[in-house]
Chain A
Amino acid sequence: MSDLLVTVYTPESPLRKPGRLLREMWRDILAARELAWRLFLRDVRAQYRQSILGYIWVFIPPLFASLPFVYLNSQGVVKIGDTPIPYAAYAIVGTTIWQVFADSLNAPLKAVNASRSMLSRINMPREAILISALAEVALGFFVRLVLLIGVFIWFRLLPPPSAVLFPLGVFSLIMVGSFIGLLVTPIGLLYNDVQRALPIFATFLMLLTPVVYPVPQSGLAASIAQYNPLTPLVVTTRDWLTIGTTTHAAAFVTVTLGATVMLFVVWVIFRVATPHLVARLGN
C-alpha cells in the first residue's frame, strides 16, 4: 500500500511548489512520448486516408504563397530587388521555410481545440497533443523537402556546405512558432477569436518579414525588418541553404535561445491554465 502513488488536488497554485511542478512536468513529458507517437500516427493516417490529393496538400500552401509573387515580379508589377538565386527559386525556398513557422504557430491551438472532448474527459499528459502536432509540422516540412530538391534541380543550383545547418534553422522556426502558438492557446481555447485571427496574422507577418523579398536596405521596410525577430531566422535559414554566408548569425542564436526559454515558460502557463480551461469547456 505504501508504495502506491498518492495524488493530491488542492486549490493551491502549482507554482507554490516549483519542485513538484518540475517533477510532474518531467514525468508527463516522459509519459507523453509514446502517446504522442500514437496520436501522430492516428492523425497522419486519418488525414490522408480520407483524401484524394493526400500528401499533395502539403505542397500547396508554400507553392500558392510564392507563385503570385513570382508572377507579379516577372510581369514587373512589383519590383523586387536582386536575389542571389533566380527569383522563383528564392521565393519558393522562402515560403517553404516560412510555412514551418506558420504551421508551428497554428499547430498548438488547432491540436488542442481538436482534442477538446478528450481534454475535458480524460486525464492524460496533454503535452502529447502538442508534441504530436509539432511532429506533424516536421513531417510536413520533410515532405516539402522534395519540392525544394525539385527546385534546386530545375534551376541547376548546388547547395553550399552550410546547407547541413539548414535543419537547425527549421528547428529554430518551430521553436519560435510554437512558443507564440502555445502562448495564445489558453486564451484561444476560451475565445474562438484567436483561432480566427491566427492565420490572418500569419499572412500579415509573412509580408512584413523578408520571405519573398530580400532584406530591404532603406526606409521603413528596413527598420521593420531590422527589429522583426523573424528576420534573422528566415534569412539565416535561407542563406545556409542557398548562398552559404549569412549576416544575421548572432541574432539568429539570440532569438533561438530566447524562444527556447520562452517555450518552457509558456509550457508552464499552459499547465497552470489547463484545469481552469477544462472547467469552461463543458462536457
Chain B
Amino acid sequence: MSSDVLVRAEGVSKKFSRNLMKSLWYGVQDTLDDLVGRDGTTDKLRPSEFWALDNVSFDLRRGECLGLIGRNGAGKTTLLKLLNGLIKPDNGRIEITGRLGALIALGAGFNPILSGRENIYINASILGLSRREINEKINYIIDFADLGEFIDAPVQSYSSGMVVRLGFAVAAAIDPDVLLLDEVLAVGDERFQIKCLNTLAEFRRRGAGFIFVSHNMRMITRYCEKVMYIRHGQVQYFGDVATGIARYYKDMHASGSADEADIPDSTDTLGSGKVKILSSQFLNSRDEIVSEIGVGEPVSLVVQYELRDVDVKRAVLDVVVEDAQEVVYQGTNALAGMAFENLLDHGELRVRFACLPVNMDYLIFNFALLDQATGEVHDWKRNLRLNVRRSPKHGGRLVMPTTWEMNAVEQPKARLLVSNE
C-alpha cells in the first residue's frame, strides 16, 4: 500500500429500507445484533431494503481531488456519511488516514439566538477545535466570514448567505488531511466563492485530499482529476474526468428520453396550415443528412414545405434553439429572420449556421413558418433533436471561437500619471 493513500474504501456497501416503519425496526435489530457481538457483515436484503451503495472501492491520495457525480439518490451522500463515520457500512471496509474535515453541514449547531461570535466558539468546538486553537484562530475566522458589525448580532438576523459564510469560515479554520465537500460552493457571492476556492487550493497545496460532490460539471472539471460516477449505488465509472462526465451525461439523456424531447411531432399541423411543413433535416458542411455534429461545426436546418393557400406570398422561418435545460439560444426570429418571398407550391427553406458553438449534449430545434406582419403562425414543428459531440476540454455551455495573444506593454512612467495640466 502506497504511503500517501489517505482514504481507502474496499467493497463498501450500505443498505437502506424504503419503508419507514420497517427501517426503524431494522434499526432496532441491527443495534441488538451489534450488542450480542455479531459480525454485522451482510450480503442479504431484508424486505423493502435496497443497496444504497453496492461494492464501492477506491483510493484517494494526498493532493488529489475526487469528484463524485450521479443523480440525486444515487448514493453520493450515503458515501460521504460512511466516510465521515456517521453510519456503518454493511459490508466492506473504509480506512482513513489523518484528520477528516467535512464541509457538509455548514452552520449545523448554530443557535439562532446567540451572536455570530458566540456561535464561532460553539461551532469550532463541535468540529473538534480546542479552546486554545479557537482563540488562536478567532480573528482569522471573523476576518474570513467578513460580516462586519453583524458578528455580534444574533445569527437569526443573518441572511442565508451570511450563515453559510460564517459556517465556512469556521470550517476553514480546521486543517484537515481529508476534506469532504458537498455542494457547499454553490452559495455565497462571487467574492466569497473565490475566497473559498482559494482556501481549498491552500489545503490542497499542503497535501490534503478532497472528495467533492457536485452537480456542477464545470466545478468538477476544474478541480478534480478523477471522478467516480455512481448510479443506483453502483460505481459506473472511476477514472478520468472527461470520460466520467461523458458517461454521466449519456445516461442522463438515455433515461431522460422517455419525455417528449425525443419525439418530433411531424404529422400534425400546428397553426393555420396555409403553409405546411412536410419534413426537415440537418445537413453538415458536405450536405449530408446528419443527426449529430461536433461542437463548433457548421450545420444547416432544411425545411420542406407545401403551400396550401395561394394568397400567401411569403413567410418567415422562425427557429428557436434550446438545450436540455430549456435554455434558449435564439436561432432566428420574425424580426431577425429572413422573409422568404414568392413561395413555391412545393419548396425547401434552409438556415445555415456558420458555426454552432453550443457545448451541450444535444440541442432541441423548434421552428415555425409565420407571417412577418401579423405574426400568424402557419405551421409549427417542435422537438427536433440535434446531438452534439461535446468538447471534453471545455466546461461551459459554449465553446467560443478564441484566439490568443501576448503583447509586451511598456510600464507607464509615474510622472505621466500626475502631470495633467
Spell out A's residues near B (CB within 8 Å): 1, 4-16, 31, 34-35, 38-39, 41-43, 45-46, 49-50, 115, 117-118, 120-124, 186-187, 190-191, 269, 272-273, 275-280, 283
Contacts and interface: CB of A to CB of B under 8 A. Distances in A.
Contacts of B89: 9-11
B87 A38 contact: no
B369 interface: no
By secondary structure, the A interface counts as: helix
B406 interface: no
Contacts, number: 156
B203 to A, nearest CB: 15
Contact of B34 (A7, A14, A118, A283): A14
Interface of B: 3-4, 14, 16, 23-24, 27-28, 30-31, 33-42, 77, 81-82, 84-100, 102, 104-105, 108-109, 111, 113-114, 118, 121-122, 125-128, 130-131, 177
Contacts of A50: 113
A43 to B, nearest CB: 8
A186 B31 contact: yes
A13 B96 contact: no
Contact of A276 (B30, B39, B102, B177): B30
Interface centre among B37, B38, B87, B111 (most CB of A within 10 A): B87
Nearest to A11: B40
Contacts of B28: 187, 190
B116 to A, nearest CB: 13
21 contacts: A9-B96, A11-B39, A11-B88, A11-B91, A13-B39, A34-B125, A34-B130, A38-B122, A49-B114, A117-B108, A121-B102, A121-B104, A121-B108, A122-B102, A122-B105, A123-B85, A186-B31, A272-B34, A279-B87, A280-B23, A280-B24
A279 B30 CA distance: 11
B370 to A, nearest CB: 49
A7 B86 contact: no
Nearest to A125: B128
A4 B42 contact: no
A46 B33 contact: no
A123 B84 contact: yes
B94 to A, nearest CB: 4
A273 B31 CA distance: 5
B31 A276 contact: yes
B99 A5 contact: yes
B113 A1 contact: no
A45 B114 contact: yes
A7 B108 contact: no
Nearest to B4: A1
Contacts of A121: 86, 102, 104-105, 108
Contacts of B88: 9-11, 275-276, 279
B231 to A, nearest CB: 20
Nearest to B34: A13
